[in-house]
Amino acid sequence: MSGFTFKKRERLTLRSHIDALFRDGRVMYSGPLKVIYGFEKNAYPVKILVTVPRKKFRKAVDRNRIKRLMREAYRTNRYLLFRECPELQVSLHAGFIYTGEQKDIGFSEIEKHIIRILNHLAAEISSTCSSKDPY
């Protein structure tokens, strides 16, 4: 990871990977966030997907604001994932889904939950680093 930039290669965009994540991934909840995560054999260590349901937030302005806050919280705190195991043998795919009801949520609230999720994922990563076959 170079600095705090959030590059295109860090985004989960391939349809087959997204389908596999939602089909086979594990689920975790933290406050208004739901995270679906799984491990794949891939080149880049971590790829994420950020989404806000249109059904709950009809206006694109509201959805985009929440997604922007979630990406920023992830971008500034993703170093937590690499504390335990800097060299990953597998790729972590994670989908962050906002399931809350309030549209005027603050950055500090989202960041608190993102940090909790990243600490949990770091523990999962460290357990896969110690084992030979994470599948």
34 Cβ contact partners less than 8 Å away, ≥ 6 residues apart? 27, 28, 96, 97, 98, 99
Q: Please, which pLDDT band fits residue 1 given cuts at 50, 70 and 90? A: very low
Cα angle 50, 52, 54 (rounded to 5 degrees) comes to 145
pTM equals 0.87
Helix (H/G/I), strand (E/B), else coil: 33: strand
Q: Which tops the pLDDT comparison, 73 or 3?
A: 73
Question: For 8-130, CATH number?
Answer: 3.30.230.10
pLDDT value at position 88? 65
Contact 129, 88 (CB under 8 A): yes
- Rounded CA-CA distance 49/34 in Å is 12
| pLDDT digit string, tens, across residues 51-101 | 999 999 999 999 999 999 999 999 999 888 877 666 667 788 999 999 999
